[in-house]
Structure 1
Amino acid sequence: MNILQALFFPPEQPGGVSSMVPYIQERFLKLGWQMELFSLPKRVRGKGQEEIVFETFDVTPFLGDPIVDKYLQTIRDYIWWTRLRLKKSYDIIHAHHPIAALVMKQLYPDTPVMMTIHSSFERELVLNGRIKENSTAHRFLVSIYGELEAKLDRLLTVSDSFRTYLSPFMKDSSVIKVIPNGFDEKRFKPIAHENAVPQFITVCRLVPAKGLDILLHACAELKRRGHPFVLHIIGDGPIREELEQLAVSLDLYDDIIFYGYMLHPEEFMPFFDVFVLPSRAEAFGSVFAEAALCWLALVGTNVGGIAEQIDDGVNGLLVPPEDAPALADALEKLVVDPTYRYNLARSGWDKAKKVYSLQRVISQLKKVYLSLKPEE
């Protein structure tokens, strides 16, 4: 079987989708299946000219909004690039972004096209303060879900909570199959170590949705309680300077290291003790599973896919979003009791290996692919 994995970002970009799909390709190639990756390069901008028609809603009222206009132009660019680069047919196309999915179905109408909905662009924009709920851009972006439901042959998503989030925007969200992300455990190599001072690490894009302002306030409270620590922040983004200034104002300058973007943070994580990320929303939160496989104790917020990965007090700790004192309390538990921290980390590793294995994803995807186009 010949399958095209249609991404939006190139595979080398950071993030759960980009880090997982190449490993999926590697496993299927070993099984004797043909599989290619395709994405839109950043250099392709403003090339496409085709008119875009939606079946389930009228786009006219949304035109003129800058976010909508950019989104539509990106669809045109993806069409232009796809026509230029792809010259063969495929048995199945598996898209990982709405733009890729809609373009592929337009250009390959007779080919089964499925999509995994990994996250919500509109929710990210709301949480990052770029749009308001029920604004023109928000209404356009949530309308895309109905278009995907109407046009595509199969829809997947990464958590039950995210399927629930999608349900108001679709006629029947029960048709969406949930396949949580999976990870090649060979990438993760836990290392026995003893840190005299507890080492916290977080890995994310530096945007408001990730709640790093809450993390810094929690760390300031932990410091006021007399607990030493070092916080390592891996990632970059538009609020890095703001976070650095906040760290200075909270007297945390000597307790935090900002590393910027790192391609393979999983090679770095095993040397630390606690992974913490107080996201305001998260469809799945791949980095939690990755941190668990590095044998780190987990601390996250009780939102979305994070709450499906962490059983509070069993394989990690959950706190409410926007609650710096509660986050400080959770971190304090792990700082003062290394045995408790170790036991949580061990339980997290056990669950991640069993539930979030890449082999499980391969098996589930294979069933979906064969249901769309059985092998002859």
Structure 2
Amino acid sequence: MKVLHLISGGDTGGAKTHIINLCSKLKNLVALKIICFMYGQFYEEVKDAGIDIDVIQQSSRFDLSVVDKIAKIIENENYDIIHCHGARANFIGMFLKLKIKNKPFITTVHSDFDLDFQDSFYKRVVFSFLNKLALKRFDYFVSVGSALIDKIKGLGVSEDRIFLLYNGFDFSKEISYVHKDEFLSKFFDKRIYENKIVIGNLSRLYKVKGLDVFIKAANIIVKKYSNVLFLIGGSGPQRESLNLMISEYNLNDKVFLLGSIKNPYDFFNSIDINVISSYSETFPYSILEATALEKCCISSKVGSVPDLIDDGKNGFLFDAGDYRGLAQKIEILLQNENLIKEFGHLLSKKAKEKFSAENMARMQFEIYKSILSKK
């Protein structure tokens, strides 16, 4: 079986992590290649993982000269399946499908496509429209969470063309990170974080990530507890407004924006409680990355997160946007610090049993076999 994966190559979120974790294991089951449209961090990480990847560069998002080049590769190398990831690859896939008539085209839906471009009016209007137009042309869909299946059906897709595949993490790989002091001392004096419970949120700084919820919850907690520090890792267009919000709440010595984090495990190793405050998610990789270090997690009740976190048993859930609910969950942990380690251990155990990269690759292989048998 030969499978060609298409992805933009500029991805920095869950789609990037998904395809690297998936293909690092899937390459043992099928012959695969990844084609992306730009050089960068994604390309380097895929190469480092020992996955076959080529770049066919676009001069712009709308440069369709790549379509003929990819079509020739598909025909010359006789790929059985073309598998797209993300809006740009979907757009290219739509035109490829006009040229390649006898091959199944699959797309993995990594997020709510109506919320992907919320921080730019132009992108929200143009790219969201083009992505949905492209999505309707695909033969089959892979949803990385159960919550997205109804969303995909809303495009007019029948259920027999949709497959569920949870994100998986390679728990077998060696994880490297620096000591907590080495990481945090880059940002502030040791007295700031010494003897503190550190609560972290690692995400891109976009509206959908609900970092306003995180800051509002912090504002409630710091009025009751002095031994708490809140860290936000990541970059994005919301940085200025979040800094303003922190200043308005007078939280400049309690909540810190650390900027872009090169190694997420440096961040997760330095915190005690991992928080996901998003208004919408499918199945965020930041939970799985943190569970590799047995970190306790509190998350908004979004997407398929409840399939991993059993509220009150191995972590906590709160309703999206409910900053008071988030603050209440944090307070329970601050009043019973033993739960922090206990929940971290239990969550890690469940993640390793049910959400491994090996399981994800085997399930993806079975999906491919099912699709080819229908053909």
Whether these two folds match at TM > 0.5 is yes
The alpha-carbon deviation at position 29 of structure 1 amounts to 3.3
Q: Give distance in 2, aligned partners of 1:358 and 1:9.
A: 21
Q: Which residue of 2 aligns with 1:5?
A: 5
Moved more, 257-266 or 174-183: 257-266
1:38 corresponds to 2:35: yes
Find 1:185's aligned residue among 171, 193, 202. 171
Alpha carbons 1:206, 1:238 under 8 Å: kept: yes
SS at match of 1:294: coil
**Structure 1 residues 344 and 76: CA distance shift in structure 2, 3 A:** same
Q: CA deviation at 1:187?
A: 4.0
Q: Secondary structure at the match of 2:172?
A: helix
What is the aligned counterpart of 1:25 among 11, 23, 26?
23
1:370 partner letter: K
Pick closer, same or farther for the CA change 1:28–1:308 going to 2, 3 Å. Answer: closer
| Aligned residue in 1 for 2:277 | 278
Query: In the alignment, what sits opposite 1:316?
Result: 315
2:70 corresponds to which residue? 82
Q: Bigger shift: 187-196 or 271-280?
A: 187-196
C-alpha distance 244-102 of structure 1, shift in aligned 2 (>3 A)? same
Q: Aligned partners of 2:232, 2:174: CA distance in 1, in Å?
A: 19
**Does the alignment pair 1:166 with 2:166?**
no
What residue number does 1:61 align with? none
Q: Match of 1:91, as an amino acid?
A: D
Alignment partners' CA distance in 2, 1:321 and 1:108: 42
Identity of aligned residues (%): 21
Once the two structures are TM-superposed, the CA of residue 85 in structure 1 deviates from its matched residue by: 7.5
Q: Counterpart in 2 of 1:325? A: 324
Matched, 1:15 2:1: no
- CA distance in 1 between partners of 2:144 and 2:159 (Å): 13
Aligned counterpart, 2:121: 130
The equivalent residue for 1:176 is 162
Aligned equivalent of 1:51: none
Q: Give, in angstroms, the shift of residue 189 of structure 1.
A: 4.9
Which residue number corresponds to residue 44 of structure 2? none
- Partner of 2:102, secondary structure, is coil
The answer to which of 246-255 and 272-281 deviates more is 246-255
- Structure 2 matches for 1:30-69, cutoff 5 A? 30-31=28-29, 33-41=30-38, 44-46=58-60
Give the corresponding residue for 1:252.
251
Q: Deviations over 1:65-94 (max 9, x none)?
A: xxxxxxxx6373653663698764312222
Contact 2:199 2:275 survives alignment (8 Å): yes
**Corresponding residue of 2:301:** 302
Distance in 2, matches of 1:115 and 1:249, equals: 43
CA contact (8 A) 1:280 1:301 kept: yes
| Correspondence for 1:110 among 96, 99, 102 | 102
Normalised to the residue count of structure 2, the TM-score between the two structures is 0.80
1:307 and 1:3, CA in 2 relative to 1: closer, same or farther beyond 3 A? Answer: same
What is the CA distance between 1:215 and its match in structure 2?
0.6
**2:198–2:229 Cα contact (<8 Å) kept:** yes
**Unaligned regions of 5+ residues in structure 1, if any?**
47-72
Alpha carbons of structure 1 residues 24 and 132: separation in structure 2 relative to 1, 3 Å: closer
- Which residue, 148, 155, 168 being the options, matches 2:141? 155
State whether residues 144 and 164 of structure 2, in contact with CA within 8 Å, keep that contact through their aligned partners in structure 1.
Answer: yes
Decide whether the 8 Å contact of 1:75 with 1:103 is kept in 2: no
Q: Does the aligned pair in 2 maintain the 1:182–1:361 contact within 8 Å?
A: yes
Q: Which deviations, in whole Å up to 9, do the C-alpha atoms of 1:79-126 show, x marking residues without a partner?
A: 366369876431222211222432442343222222211113322335
Equivalent residue, structure 2, for 1:60: none
User: Given the two structures, how large is their TM-score scaled by the length of structure 1?
Assistant: 0.80
The worse-fitting range, judged by mean Cα deviation, of 79-88 and 340-349 is 79-88
Q: Is the 8 A contact 1:190 1:295 kept in 2?
A: no
Q: State the distance in 1 between where 2:260 and 2:365 align.
A: 33
Task: Count the aligned residue pairs.
Answer: 339
Distance 1:242 1:343, change over 3 A: same
Q: Which residue, out of 146, 159, 181, partners 2:136?
A: 146
Instruction: Give 1:45 deviation, angstroms.
Output: 3.5
Specify whether residues 308 and 28 from structure 1 end up closer, same or farther in structure 2 by C-alpha distance, changes over 3 A only.
closer
Say if 1:8 and 1:99, in contact at 8 Å, map to a contact too.
no
The reply to whether residue 120 of structure 1 matches residue 112 of structure 2 is yes
Displacement of 1:2 in angstroms is 2.4
Q: What is the distance in 1 between the residues matched to 2:65 and 2:219?
A: 46
